[in-house]
A and B are shown apart, each in its own frame.
Chain A
Amino acid sequence: MDSTRRKFLATVATTIAAPVLGEASAAEGTADTQDTPRWVMVIDLRKCIGCQACTVACSTENRVPAGQFRTLVSHYEVEKDHQPRSAMLPRLCNHCENPPCIPVCPVQATYQRPDGIVVVDNTRCVGCAYCVQACPYDARFINHETKTADKCTFCVHRVQAGLLPACVETCVGGARIFGNIKDPRSEVSRLINSVHTDGLQPGLKTRPQVYYIGLDNRLQNKIEGVPSPWKRSETLVQESMS
């Protein structure tokens, strides 16, 4: 047992009733300078064809267990002007400016890097799933294999290597655009400054850093649509877990 876990044990007895509101971890350097980028994603929904290339690329790149997703494209049939329409909504961690998942972590395993990427240190995480509960976007889960909290990292290992996240690399319609919002010449800045964008569930004041172009208000908060045409079966997940 590593020392973090052992230390956490001491607090268990006294905090059963209420989760610990921990502080954001300072595990990695906190120096946020002018040069530090702020990574964000713009998703142009007009360009999303719902092909799920991102879903599979993420799953492959990050070796996510079957039936669990760091990103997924929800596909809905939505009524608009009395016509059924096909609506796509790619989902992932919003890497919020005000991430509600971080304060609830009792062991400070999850924290926000200076570049804005919200990560989980799997050597500290105890798998309590408070962060899973706290995320209003359902972007987190307990990884079946590691038994720790898991989520999108913006493929931080690739970004640090000067590459792009796997989902962005393989986005067939070119809907996913990744970049540094602090750089005014970046494509994400250009889009955010020139086209109307929206975040999911703005009322929650989480300040999500995934900016959608063409987000209909039927998708922004409570979904007003049929989560078809393609129905996912729960049985598959159970099978992959067993």
Chain B
Amino acid sequence: MTTSRRNFLKGAAAAGGLTAFGFGYSHTAEQLLRGAWAGDQPDHPISGKAPSPEFTVDPETGVLTPNPNQAMAYTMCMGCTTICGVRVRIDKVRNKILRVTGNPYHLLSTDQHIPYATPVKQSFVSLSRFQEQGLAGRSTACARGNAVLSKLTDPNRVTVPLKRIGARGEGKWAPISPEQLLREVVEGGDLFGEGHVDGLRAIRDLKTPIDPANPEFGPRANQLAVIPPFKDGRLVFAARFAKQSFGTVNFTGHRSYCGLSMRSGYAALLGDWKKQPHLKPDFINSEFLLFIGTAPGNAGNPFKRQGQQIAKARSTGKLKYVVVDPVLTNSDSMAADERSRWLPIKPNTDGALVMGMMRWILENRRYDEQFLRQPNAAAAAAAGEVSWSNASHLVVTQEGHPKNGRFLRASDLQLFDGDPKESPLVVIDQASGEVVSQAAVGPAELFYQGEVVLPDGEKLQVKSSLSLLQAEAEKHSLEEYSAACGIPVSTIVELAREFTAHGKKAAADCHGGTMGSNGFYTAYAIVMLNALVGNLNAKGGTSAGGGRFKEIAPGPRYNLKKFPGMVKAKGVGLGRQGFPYEKSSEYQRKVAAGKNPYPSKAPWYPLSPAMSSEFLTAAINGYPYSLKALILWSSNPLYGVAGLQQQVKVKMADPKSLPLIVSVDPFINESNTYADYIVPDSVLYESWGWASAWGGNLTKVSTARWPVIEPAQVKDNQGIPVGMEWFFIEVAKRMGLPGFGENAIADQEGNLHPLNRPEEFYLRAAANVAFDGGAVADADDEELQLTGVDRLANDLQSILKPDEWRKAAYVYARGGRFEDAEMGYKGNALARQYKSPLQIYDEKLGTTRNTLSGARYHGTPTWIRPSLADGSLLESSFPAADWPYKVVSTKSPYVSSHTTGIQKLQQFHPSNAIAMHYSDAEKLGVRSGDSIRITTPGGIVKGQALVRNGIQPGVLGIEHGFGHRELGARQHQIGDRFTTPSRLAGLGVNINDLGFADPQREGASVLADWVVGSVARQGLPARVEKA
């Protein structure tokens, strides 16, 4: 038998067929002699147990005949954070979901999504064999999307409210009524026989400061933190409660332990640190793509769309691409031959590779000079450019001067007499060589370095942004960059030449592979490559996304963002994010006492908008302040943040440290296992929501999520299913908080409507969508029946206005609202354009200081080695002599935090292994399958070795998503019932068990990027041995 056969058969045919055959013919005869059908008897002699098709399409005429027992609902997937539009095939008789595939109206699931006006019936025909429409028009779900429906019926799902009856984390729970849950969480009391616990009512104090000595920390209401999952379509509802109604600043998603380094790199490039927009290549029209720390089709977002686009572009398109990654993944394709290339690299050294490329590009003048020379939007437009940059803008570089690091303003030179805050910047005019206002001229000098004389005669050293970038690139030779990253000089040059050989039809992208302790500068450098070829908004270049319709917004029908009595949360967040340390009381006190204000007690992250990875360590350290209550909603930081579990598990289990922990979650995970209460929640296709594409869309996308089947959770005494929305509505109503209950939602005429159940929120969002930028058509009854939207008909009619409900139904029948594909382009440019200039030098970055060392950050990309929080070298604390290996976190296209323990995925990928290179394995005497032990400064894991060539020597690759201790892996007692632990759920190792505290920080901490605080999961120093 060949290897291939063995592989294909492994455990599949082998376990059945060949084992049976092993008994020889006598076994067969014996079975026959027993007389009965040996196994289950399926319904159909040929098709076995397959259910009858959802509908029939006549292949000759295209006439569709529905199956009356099934519906095909268009809604949203939750198998990963891409949240694609899907079609869910429902057995209406059994309230069961049969199978899930893609929604052909939705661009995240379809190559060319069908026009929005297509009748629903026609959308079904577009998936069929009729005229082979279903081939080019196929709309897909990935393996996760196909498999995740089993979460609905997961035997470990929580469906009733639980209260702990043992110690925190002991796994003993009592089922309680929804009413008891609300009373105890709101009113507090001696809830566990351990003494008094403050309820949410007592914690919500919007007047008394947490700490009078540090008034900037804000009121005591900030001592409630709410950690939600991600922008899953319901986040805005939870934010309405936490920030706008309860009034805490401590509400933030998972970005700091997901892809904050990438988001920050783009934020610097795009000049928006608050919203952190980001770019995605226009795959299909691109000729050369460079993926560094991201691998299309393997991971990243949108996962499926990128996989589909790369497959098309590398086969029938014009694309060549290179994936730079320590580990070879399924992003590469041997069948695509030289169109696809894997370039291995040492972990955390992508910055060296890219700075080397930039040095060569700048020295050889391979950049897009015409693009870079345009100092303003009008000049760019006149030159035929579709975006512009600050490459020519002058930066003050006078050491010791108060303006050092700032752009020179036209007002500084009396070239502008308006408000200096509004002043344009300054460039050297290319034609005249004069110092002029950036707003007033055409092409400008790119590499100016020299003196500018101010009106009072003072001379200031200045340099253009591009000169500053060049200076950083020239800090090291190509040979030095090469030595750092392990990629030969010739390859660096080859990449730089290729990248600059396609005009604007080349792009570079990055993502989670940059999540090292030098992640920010790595990402800023990678994305800067796009500026050097001027590809923003260009066909075949990069896009900041196509946007969405106004759903949960101040929309055309209802204002779902603002409401009467809305609170504005105030104060410094637990993660010390988005607030300059220099404005803190701590800083002022130190300065007043004549002390060096640096270091701060823990790093502050003024550039970062969201730092939930710091919440728990901050609360435990009591800096800036402690927490009184924590609400975890479908989030699991103790599993997902490298090193966090070790740092906080003792304190999480101690009610004195964190008095009240409530979790809203359908499952018990590594974080909410420490909860005092668990509120069950809806799962997947049972829930409401409004989401969009996170990126990779050139046109507007608003995805609708709605309960296509009846939710499984218990209902309250009003008949409303318990869940996230229910919990926040009821808590708010009990406490008399604004924004919920009667008179909570204003329509466009100012009339107020109630918010007593989730339908009253999400259906009004649908009305907004339906009327935004021109109203959609009305859905007829047949469309409602075909798509199962008839389930919503009563609510649509009773909640919405007569002119709204059939339009909202039209939107739900299509799974949302989507702009047609042809709206994506305008000639050689993208139709939806990002308007602000690209930041070759980022002033905010260049004038911000590290709060431990006090040193100012570089305002352009530069090569930074892995660092500790104060900017000192990671290597200095953990030298390679002691820690010769580097651990990296890799991704699987099958596993996400939403798909743990799913048998349909684990049947072909049950566990993870620790990948290592042949040369390392040989040194250690390790073979594939051997047990090996990895030790880092923070932890030890033991797993199976997988010996490969497709990994950089010296690197240990661990796929994220395994090694769970909860989510079904552990037994819990609920009332007098014991859950049945699943061995599948606990298989493999969790790379985040290897994370560790930063030795430069006091108290509990995790290693993070020294600029923006993104958690370091890449390049962890390690030792490895045979176990």
Q: What residues make up the interface of A, taking CB atoms closer than 8 Å to B?
A: 1-2, 5, 8-9, 12, 16, 44-53, 55-57, 59-63, 66-69, 72, 74-75, 77-80, 83-89, 91, 119-124, 126-129, 132-133, 136-138, 140-150, 153, 155-159, 161-164, 166, 168-175, 177-179, 186-187, 213-216, 219, 221-223, 225-241
Known: A66-B903, A122-B45, A170-B140. A52 touches B893 (CB 8 A): yes
- Distance from B932 Cβ to chain A, minimum over Cβ atoms (Å): 14
Q: A229-B950, A237-B11 are in contact. List 11 more A-B contacts (CB 8 A).
A: A55-B143, A56-B146, A61-B99, A80-B334, A86-B328, A127-B28, A148-B39, A174-B311, A175-B311, A219-B4, A232-B10
Q: A172 and B308: CB pair below 8 A?
A: yes
Q: A59 and B332: CB pair below 8 A?
A: no
Residue numbers in B under 8 Å from A158 (CB-CB): 53
Q: How far is the CA of A14 from the CA of B135 in the complex (A)?
A: 50
Query: Cβ of B7 < 8 Å from any Cβ of A?
Result: yes
- Distance from A67 Cβ to chain B, minimum over Cβ atoms (Å): 5
Q: A51 and B328: CB pair below 8 A?
A: no
Across the two chains, which residue of chain A brings its CB closest to B34? A1
Q: Which of B26, B59, B145, B950 contacts A162 (CB 8 A)?
A: B59
Q: A171 and B928: CB pair below 8 A?
A: no
Q: How far is the CA of A45 from the CA of B906 in the complex (A)?
A: 24
Q: Which of A1, A80, A171 contacts B140 (CB 8 A)?
A: A171
Known: A142-B20, A159-B129, A230-B909. A9 touches B33 (CB 8 A): yes
- Distance from A219 Cβ to chain B, minimum over Cβ atoms (Å): 7
Q: A169 and B138: CB pair below 8 A?
A: yes
* Residue of A45, A61, A87, A155 with highest tally of chain B CB at under 10 A: A61
Across the two chains, which residue of chain A brings its CB closest to B308? A172
Query: Cβ of B881 < 8 Å from any Cβ of A?
Result: no
Q: Which of A5, A16, A169 contacts B101 (CB 8 A)?
A: A169
Known: A51-B330, A86-B334, A178-B135. A153 touches B47 (CB 8 A): yes
Q: B142 and A172: CB pair below 8 A?
A: yes
Residue numbers in A under 8 Å from B7 (CB-CB): 74, 223, 227
Residues of B78-105 at the interface with A, using a CB-CB cut-off of 8 Å, are 98-99, 101-102
Query: Cβ of B42 < 8 Å from any Cβ of A?
Result: yes
Residue numbers in B under 8 Å from A157 (CB-CB): 44, 46-47, 50, 52-53
Query: Cβ of B213 < 8 Å from any Cβ of A?
Result: no
Residue numbers in B under 8 Å from A61 (CB-CB): 50, 99
Q: Which of B3, B26, B908 contacts A223 (CB 8 A)?
A: B3
Q: B140 and A66: CB pair below 8 A?
A: no
Query: Cβ of B923 < 8 Å from any Cβ of A?
Result: no
Q: A46 and B315: CB pair below 8 A?
A: yes
Q: A60 and B31: CB pair below 8 A?
A: no
Known: A159-B129, A222-B4. A46 touches B314 (CB 8 A): yes
Residue numbers in A under 8 Å from B59 (CB-CB): 162
Q: How far is the CA of A54 from the CA of B589 in the complex (A)?
A: 63
- Distance from A140 Cβ to chain B, minimum over Cβ atoms (Å): 6
Residue numbers in A under 8 Å from B8 (CB-CB): 72, 74, 91, 137-138
Residue numbers in A under 8 Å from B892 (CB-CB): 230
Q: Which of A84, A147, A159 contacts B39 (CB 8 A)?
A: A147
Query: Cβ of B911 < 8 Å from any Cβ of A?
Result: yes
Residue numbers in B under 8 Å from A67 (CB-CB): 11-12, 15, 907
Q: How far is the CA of A87 from the CA of B106 in the complex (A)?
A: 29
Known: A140-B17, A141-B13, A150-B48. A86 touches B946 (CB 8 A): no
Across the two chains, which residue of chain B brings its CB closest to A135? B13
Which A-B residue pairs are the 5 nearest by beta carbons?
A173-B311, A214-B335, A147-B39, A132-B17, A45-B335
Known: A172-B304, A240-B907. A46 touches B336 (CB 8 A): yes
Q: How far is the CA of A119 from the CA of B46 in the complex (A)?
A: 7
- A-B residue pairs in contact (CB < 8 Å), sample of 29: A5-B32, A9-B29, A16-B25, A44-B315, A63-B42, A63-B50, A63-B51, A66-B907, A68-B13, A75-B330, A85-B332, A85-B333, A86-B331, A87-B334, A88-B333, A119-B46, A126-B31, A126-B32, A127-B38, A137-B5, A142-B17, A157-B53, A162-B57, A170-B138, A173-B308, A222-B4, A227-B6, A229-B948, A238-B15
Across the two chains, which residue of chain B brings its CB closest to A131? B17
Query: Cβ of B641 < 8 Å from any Cβ of A?
Result: no
Q: How far is the CA of A57 from the CA of B86 in the complex (A)?
A: 13
Q: How far is the CA of A80 from the CA of B332 in the complex (A)?
A: 13
- Distance from A60 Cβ to chain B, minimum over Cβ atoms (Å): 5
Query: Cβ of B927 < 8 Å from any Cβ of A?
Result: no
Q: B46 and A120: CB pair below 8 A?
A: yes
Q: How large is the interface on B (under 10, 10 to 19, 20 to 34, 35 or more residues)?
A: 35 or more
Residue numbers in A under 8 Å from B102 (CB-CB): 170
Number of A-B contacts defined by CB within 8 Å? 375
Known: A84-B328, A138-B8, A163-B129. A77 touches B135 (CB 8 A): no
Known: A53-B142, A55-B908, A146-B40. A234 touches B11 (CB 8 A): yes
Residue numbers in A under 8 Å from B944 (CB-CB): 231
Known: A46-B311, A47-B311, A231-B946. A142 touches B2 (CB 8 A): no
Q: Which of B2, B40, B129, B145 contacts A164 (CB 8 A)?
A: B129
* Residue of A8, A169, A172, A186 with highest tally of chain B CB at under 10 A: A172
Residue numbers in A under 8 Å from B335 (CB-CB): 44-46, 48, 87-88, 213-216
Q: B28 and A77: CB pair below 8 A?
A: no
Residue numbers in B under 8 Å from A238 (CB-CB): 11, 15
Residue numbers in B under 8 Å from A84 (CB-CB): 328, 342, 948-950
Residue numbers in A under 8 Å from B36 (CB-CB): 1
Residue numbers in B under 8 Å from A221 (CB-CB): 2
Known: A61-B50, A132-B18, A143-B16. A45 touches B142 (CB 8 A): no
Residue numbers in B under 8 Å from A47 (CB-CB): 311-312, 315
* Residue of A1, A68, A163, A214 with highest tally of chain B CB at under 10 A: A163
Query: Cβ of B361 < 8 Å from any Cβ of A?
Result: no
Known: A66-B907, A214-B335. A128 touches B28 (CB 8 A): yes
Across the two chains, which residue of chain B brings its CB closest to A157? B47
Q: How far is the CA of A236 from the CA of B907 in the complex (A)?
A: 6
Across the two chains, which residue of chain A brings its CB closest to B111? A174
Query: Cβ of B432 < 8 Å from any Cβ of A?
Result: no
Q: How far is the CA of A151 from the CA of B907 in the complex (A)?
A: 17
Residues of B136-189 at the interface with A, using a CB-CB cut-off of 8 Å, are 136, 138, 140-143, 145-147
- Distance from A61 Cβ to chain B, minimum over Cβ atoms (Å): 6
Q: How far is the CA of A68 from the CA of B12 in the complex (A)?
A: 4
* Residue of B9, B308, B334, B950 with highest tally of chain A CB at under 10 A: B334
Q: B310 and A49: CB pair below 8 A?
A: yes
Known: A51-B142, A53-B142, A60-B904. A147 touches B135 (CB 8 A): no
Q: B948 and A228: CB pair below 8 A?
A: yes
Residue numbers in B under 8 Å from A226 (CB-CB): 948-949
Q: How far is the CA of A84 from the CA of B323 in the complex (A)?
A: 13
Q: A161 and B55: CB pair below 8 A?
A: yes
Query: Cβ of B915 < 8 Å from any Cβ of A?
Result: yes
Q: How far is the CA of A79 from the CA of B907 in the complex (A)?
A: 27
Residue numbers in A under 8 Å from B828 (CB-CB): none
Across the two chains, which residue of chain B brings its CB closest to A150? B48
Residue numbers in A under 8 Å from B111 (CB-CB): 174
- Distance from A57 Cβ to chain B, minimum over Cβ atoms (Å): 5
* Residue of A47, A119, A140 with highest tally of chain B CB at under 10 A: A47
Residues of B934-973 at the interface with A, using a CB-CB cut-off of 8 Å, are 944, 946, 948-950
Residue numbers in B under 8 Å from A128 (CB-CB): 25, 28
Q: How far is the CA of A166 from the CA of B101 in the complex (A)?
A: 9
* Residue of A155, A162, A236 with highest tally of chain B CB at under 10 A: A162
Q: A237 and B15: CB pair below 8 A?
A: yes
Q: A173 and B307: CB pair below 8 A?
A: yes
Known: A60-B99, A179-B132. A156 touches B333 (CB 8 A): no
Query: Cβ of B297 < 8 Å from any Cβ of A?
Result: yes
Q: A86 and B333: CB pair below 8 A?
A: yes
Q: How far is the CA of A231 from the CA of B610 in the complex (A)?
A: 37
Q: How far is the CA of A16 from the CA of B1019 in the complex (A)?
A: 62
Q: B984 and A236: CB pair below 8 A?
A: yes
Q: How far is the CA of A53 from the CA of B50 in the complex (A)?
A: 18
